[in-house]
Structure formats: C-alpha cells, structure tokens
Amino acid sequence: MIIAIILFLISLGVLAKSSQLAIRYSSKLSKTLHISEFVISFFFIAFITVLPETVIGIISAVKEIPALGAGTLIGSNVADLSLILGIIILASIKGLRFKKEDIKENFLYSVILLIPLLLALDGNFSRIDGGILIFSGLYFYYTLTKDFKLFKRKKYLDKKNALGYLILLVLSLGILILSAYFTVKYGWELSNLIGIKPLILGSVIIALGTTLPELMFSLKSVREKHSELGIGDIFGTVLWDGTIALGILILIKPFSFAKEVMIIPTLFMFLSSLTIDYLSKRDKILTKREGVYLMLFYLMFLIVEFLIGINE
C-alpha cells in the first residue's frame, strides 16, 4: 500500500507541476495575441488548467472506471468555487472585485451548472445526457463570443517568441498527459487497497491535486493586481469541467451510480455558483469574510463526502 500511495502522490505532483508550466507558456503565448485579460483567462488559460481533469476523465472512461473521472471533474469544481476562490480572496488586498461585464452572465452560468445535478437525479448518465452537457457548455461559450470586440487584436503577433512558447507548451502538455495516465492507474489501485469508492477518491483527493494549477495561477494574478485573470480562469475551468469534459466522459462510457454519491457533489457545485452569483451582484466584491465562508462551505462538502464514504 505504501508504494501505491507514493507512486500516486508522485504522479499527482508531476501532474500539478506540468499543468503549472503549461499555464505559464500558454499565458505568454496568448498574450502575444493582445486579447483582454478576462478572455485570455476564460478561454486560453482555463483550457490549459482543465486538461488534468479532462485527461483523467477520458483515461478513466477508456479504462472503464468513469466514476473516478466524474468524481474528479465535479469535485475539482466544488474546490474551485469554494476553497480555491476563498484562498484567493484572502490573498487579495481588499477582497476580489467583479466588473460589470464579468458578472452579467453569472445567472446563466449558475443555470448551466444546475444541469449536471438534474441529469444525475435518475442515478444514470446516458449518452443523451453527455450530449446535453456538451451542448449547454458550448452554448455558454457562444454567448460570450458574440461580443467580437473582445477578440479584436491591435498589434501584430510576435511570431519568433510565439513559436518558442508553443514548443514549450507542447512539451508540458505531453508530460501532463503521461502523468494523468499514471494518476488514474495508481489512483485506481489505491481505491481498491483502502476500500474507498473511486468517485469519492476522485471528488476529494485527485480533485484537490488537479486544482493546484488554478490556485497557483490565480494567486499570482491577484498579487500582481490582475484579478480578472484569476476570476476568468476559475469560472472558465468550472464551466468546462461541469459540462463539456463531463459530457465527453459520458459519451465514451455511460455509467450508473448510487444517487447520493453523485448528487451531493453536483448539488454543492450548483450551490457554490449560486452563492457567488448572489454575492457578486449584491456588492460587486467578495470580501475576506465571504472568502472564509466559502472555505467553510468546502469543509462542509468534505465532511459530507467523508460520511458518504464510510457509510457505503
């Protein structure tokens, strides 16, 4: 068991580090396009930060343990919207301020994150459910891209530097995919050895590991007074994981589950997004006190997941 734990933790550590490197080079690459910070983070950076969960989800589905991947996707979303966001708020100087354009779509965002919960109520994810999730995620992205002014470039692309960043990005992604494979492999072995359900292992332990890239990037963004990058990264990551990535996993391998095991994390995901929607519209700023509340919300999630795990 000790060897399995060590190999699992090493795989998870390499996964987090390769993700961090991929974020660094994708950020440098995307900035050469001279796009707004929120768009860079929501589309480009978020795409990189979702790769660990997405790759784990796909590998889990191919290896016929989709519950492990689904747990990782949903669990990482709960962590992003509560624990990670709470830490970022506490790290900020005067709280995390939302701009009007950042929150105008928040209600639609929360509604879309309700869809996984509704689809989980029958204890089964079918390929039709997977298609619905993918469509809903793409639709939200479409609502954002309607404002083409966000994507208008004012300067020419620095092709020399862009090529170098692209090569380093591809290398980072290669290491990321390889470490994700071993994370699934040793995570599955570990779940069998300690007798914990794969979905719960994914939603807590692996999910926390896959959120490290978002945490590191967002903390750096806030400290450098670029909070838009941090907000966009978290929101973009959660949307992808909860709709498109989960939908892809289900299309590959539909699966059934004990209702409470999937309903609990999807419920927490929806409630956390609804809470952020309410707080951001009320004050247009998340204070340090509210950051503590979000972290306590995540602690409640962990307690509930632990109780489910020991009672299964």
Distance CA 26, CA 305 (A): 34
- CA angle (298 as vertex; 297, 304 as ends), nearest 5: 95
Q: Highest mean pLDDT range out of 100-104, 264-268, 304-308?
A: 264-268
Distance CA 80, CA 241 (A): 11
**Three-state SS at 285:** strand
**Can you spell out the DSSP letters for 37-64?**
HHHIIIIIIHHHHTHHHHHHHHHHHHTT
What is the model's pTM? Answer: 0.77
What residue has token string 């974020």? 23
% of the chain beyond a pLDDT of 90: 17
- Displacement of CA 92 from its chain's centroid (Å): 21
Q: What is the mean pLDDT of residues 220-225?
A: 70
- Mean pLDDT for the chain overall: 78
Which residues, 6 or more positions from 303, have their beta carbon under 8 angstroms from its beta carbon?
none
Question: Residue 53 has what pLDDT?
Answer: 79
Question: Residue 44 has what pLDDT?
Answer: 65
Question: Residue 114 has what pLDDT?
Answer: 92
Render pLDDT for 154-187 as a digit per residue (tens, 0 to 9): 454 556 676 777 788 778 778 877 877 777 777 7
Question: Residue 173 has what pLDDT?
Answer: 72
Question: Residue 154 has what pLDDT?
Answer: 46
Name all domains of the chain by residue range, CATH numbers in brackets. 37-155+199-311 (1.20.1420.30)
28-42, 221-235, 261-275 — which is least confidently predicted? 28-42
Q: Highest mean pLDDT range out of 54-63, 252-261, 266-275?
A: 266-275
Q: Residue 63: exposed, middle, or buried by beta-carbon count in 10 A (0-12, 13-18, 19+)?
A: middle
**How many residues belong to the chain?**
312
**Can you spell out the DSSP letters for 68-103?**
HHHHHHHHHHHHIIIIIHHHHHHHSSS-EE--HHHH
Render pLDDT for 41-74 as a digit per residue (tens, 0 to 9): 666 666 777 777 788 888 888 888 888 888 888 9
Residue 198 has pLDDT above 60, yes or no: yes
Which residues, 6 or more positions from 48, have their beta carbon under 8 angstroms from its beta carbon?
19, 22, 23, 26, 173, 213
